[in-house]
Amino acid sequence: MVQLTDAKLLRDKAYIDGAWAGADSGKSFAVTNPADGKELAQVPDMGAAETRRAIEAADRALPAWRAKTAKERANILRKWYELIMAAQEDLAKLMTAEQGKPLAEARGEVAYGASFIEWFAEEGKRIYGDVIPSHGADKRILVIKQPIGVVAAITPWNFPNAMITRKVAPALAAGCTAVIKPGEDTPLSALALAELAERAGIPAGVFNIVTTSNAKEVGGEMTSNPIVRKLSFTGSTGVGKLLMEQCAGTVKKVSLELGGNAPFIVFDDADLDAAVAGAMMSKYRNAGQTCVCANRILVQASVYDAFAAKLADAVRKMKVGSGFEEGVTTGPLINEKGIAKVERLVQEAVSKGAKVEIGGKRHAAGSNFYEPTILTNVSKDMELFSEEIFGPVAPLFKFDTEDEAIAMANDTQYGLAAYFYARDIGRIWRVSEALEYGILGINEGIISTEVAPFGGIKESGIGREGSKYGVDDFTEIKYMCLGGIK
Ligand SMILES: NC(=O)c1ccc[n+]([C@@H]2O[C@H](COP(=O)([O-])OP(=O)(O)OC[C@H]3O[C@@H](n4cnc5c(N)ncnc54)[C@H](O)[C@@H]3O)[C@@H](O)[C@H]2O)c1
Ligand SMILES: O=C[C@H](O)CS(=O)(=O)O
């Protein structure tokens, strides 16, 4: 069990229409610690009927919530932000227990997640419209923006707090109401957010959490129910495509934050120490389980050996173990499926000639732990060039020219994040404009912040989260033509 200061933050019921509820069937499913497999809690295993009730509750709550002024909603959201930050340690412990990331990373995610609530509480007050010069002397043209309505959100396990607040904060600030299905591996962080939302005064029905091990059934209700006007999804590209198809039947607006295959390019004019520091942060954060992790490290031939040696020195200093253990940098992967994928990709690369410089196998700390790994002598025909690794594995590819690096970097159906290290200003502009990605880290390995637009192109998604752009996805534009004015 997790020892919390505020025991009420560990909730084992779903949250619908302001009430803590079990499944109609009475069924529940286990939430386990990926570090040791121990059960943390049982949560309700809900289905379509409960999801429908949550959607209907959100619909009933919508008129009063959207009728509040932006400032009234902002005051409530600000209170939620303050309660989350006051509970940061407990929320971090819950997250490390159910997701595995080191406690320091979990604390960081809680603050990152809360920053979206802080940011959008203010942005909700700046959802401006337009007065447009009229096309007729007897007419006046106005444009207003209104909340899109009931929002359904489906979120992943790798950031079980921030991927929820990154959607719910702009939605609620704009006057929408929301129903969330969190990842089945990590529902406790979501339920703790609901407990704090209730304490903050977010009215019943405005924010609902449906827990389930049957994502297909709950998602099927979310994507087909006509009351839902918007689906916001964060997860794999494959599931994103499926949900997008399912939303077509009722022409729902969709926002998709999907998979990545980030290139991390080190040019011969890079500051190699800075590049190594950036690669460590980008590649190994959350044991490599982030959508913006460096997935392919591309190093110019003349600096390849020097970079590889420096990176290896840094990786050797990493510590694998439980996220609660002091000094641990790399926790467990989320489950057997996740670690089996990493194992498959490494073994396939080795079978085609890759050399394991460091790591390359499961760690003795437990069945879900994988050694931080560096592979050299890798090539484009290996599956890890095209597939998202989602583990602590850094394949170092070699290139000769700038054009070759850009071609390799863009040789993927993904387009979320890309990184490169260089100091020549002409190169920085040429490469920045040539890379086909939604986010660039230039001499920087950590790029995520609430003030900037986060999102991808190609098969990495649709829409942006965070920044002044993030609220647009939760509003509809209405054009008003006032006639009869003489
Ligand atoms: N772009 C981003 O911001 C971002 C952020 C985090 C994770 N991701 C991506 O998510 C993936 C890892 O997360 P994951 O393994 O949880 O992804 P996933 O797609 O397997 O699951 C994501 C969510 O979708 C649900 N889901 C799965 N199948 C479903 C279905 N048929 N109908 C409805 N819901 C369904 C899951 O229960 C979970 O809540 C990676 O590809 C990663 O790149 C992207
Ligand atoms: O995994 C995807 C997250 O969006 C990563 S980040 O926390 O936003 O950098």
- Judgement on whether residues 232 and 326 belong to the same structural domain of the protein: no
Is 159 touching ligand 2 by the criterion CB < 6 Å? yes
Query: The tokens of 345 are what?
Result: 């990709």
- Judgement on whether residues 72 and 171 belong to the same structural domain of the protein: yes
- Judgement on whether residues 297 and 254 belong to the same structural domain of the protein: no
- Judgement on whether residues 19 and 152 belong to the same structural domain of the protein: yes
Out of 101, 110, 119, 159, give the residue to mutate to test ligand 2, the one with the largest number of ligand atoms within 8 Å of its CB.
159
- Judgement on whether residues 353 and 239 belong to the same structural domain of the protein: no
- Judgement on whether residues 321 and 175 belong to the same structural domain of the protein: no
Domains identified in the chain, total number? 2
Within a domain: 316: yes
Rg over alpha carbons for the chain, rounded to the nearest Å, is 23
pLDDT in tens, 62-89: 999 999 999 999 999 999 999 999 999 9
Residue in 98, 198, 257, 402 annotated catalytic: 257
Which residues' Cβ are closer than 6 Å to ligand 1? 154-159, 163, 181, 183-184, 215-216, 219, 234-236, 239, 242-243, 257-260, 291, 388, 416, 461
ipTM of the complex: 0.96
CB 188 within 8 A of CB 41: yes
* Amino acid (1-letter code) at residue 196: L
Residues 6 or more apart whose Cβ sits within 8 Å of residue 462: 254, 255, 256, 455
Out of 154, 186, 342, give the residue to mutate to test ligand 1, the one with the largest number of ligand atoms within 8 Å of its CB.
154
- Judgement on whether residues 225 and 98 belong to the same structural domain of the protein: yes
- Judgement on whether residues 276 and 392 belong to the same structural domain of the protein: yes
Within a domain: 484: no
* CATH number of the domain to which 230 belongs: 3.40.605.10
Is 51 touching ligand 2 by the criterion CB < 6 Å? no
The CA 45 to ligand 1 mean position distance, Å, reads 18
Within a domain: 2: no
- Judgement on whether residues 163 and 282 belong to the same structural domain of the protein: no
- Judgement on whether residues 321 and 190 belong to the same structural domain of the protein: no
Average pLDDT, integer, range 162-191: 98
Within a domain: 486: no
- Judgement on whether residues 281 and 416 belong to the same structural domain of the protein: yes
* C-alpha distances in Å from residue 236, one per residue of 156, 158, 222, 289, 344: 9, 11, 18, 12, 18
Average pLDDT, integer, range 262-271: 98
Is 28 touching ligand 2 by the criterion CB < 6 Å? no
Q: Tell me what pLDDT residue 201 has.
A: 98
- Judgement on whether residues 173 and 271 belong to the same structural domain of the protein: no
Within a domain: 450: no
Active site residue 257: yes
Say if strands 393-399 and 373-376 run parallel, antiparallel, or are unpaired.
Answer: parallel
pTM: 0.98
Q: How far apart, in Å, do the first and last CA atoms of the chain sit?
A: 73
Domain membership of residue 22 as a residue range: 7-258+460-479
Within a domain: 97: yes
Within a domain: 452: no
* CATH number of the domain to which 344 belongs: 3.40.309.10
Nearest atom (ligand 1) to Cα of 237: 41
**Among 9, 13, 163, 154, which Cα is nearest to 92's?**
9
pLDDT in tens, 209-228: 999 999 999 999 999 999 99
pLDDT in tens, 308-334: 999 999 999 999 999 999 999 999 999
**Residue 300 exposure: Cα atoms within 13 Å on the Cβ side:** 17
> Does residue 109 sit in helix, strand or coil?
helix
Average pLDDT, integer, range 273-289: 98
- Rounded Cα–Cα distance for residues 350 and 379 (Å): 11
Closest residue by CA, ligand 1 atom 32: 216
Q: Tell me what pLDDT residue 1 has.
A: 80
Closest residue by CA, ligand 2 atom 6: 448
CB 73 within 8 A of CB 124: yes
**Which pLDDT band, with edges at 50, 70 and 90, does 346 fall under?**
very high
pLDDT in tens, 119-136: 999 999 999 999 999 999
Nearest atom (ligand 1) to Cα of 461: 1
Within a domain: 1: no
Instruction: Note the ligand closest to the C-alpha atom of 110.
Output: 2
Closest residue by CA, ligand 1 atom 39: 183
pLDDT in tens, 17-66: 999 999 999 999 999 999 999 999 999 999 999 999 999 999 999 999 99
- Rounded Cα–Cα distance for residues 41 and 25 (Å): 18
Instruction: Note the ligand closest to the C-alpha atom of 101.
Output: 2
CB 314 within 8 A of CB 359: no
Alpha helices in 358-473 (DSSP H): 383-386, 402-410, 425-434
- Rounded Cα–Cα distance for residues 418 and 432 (Å): 9
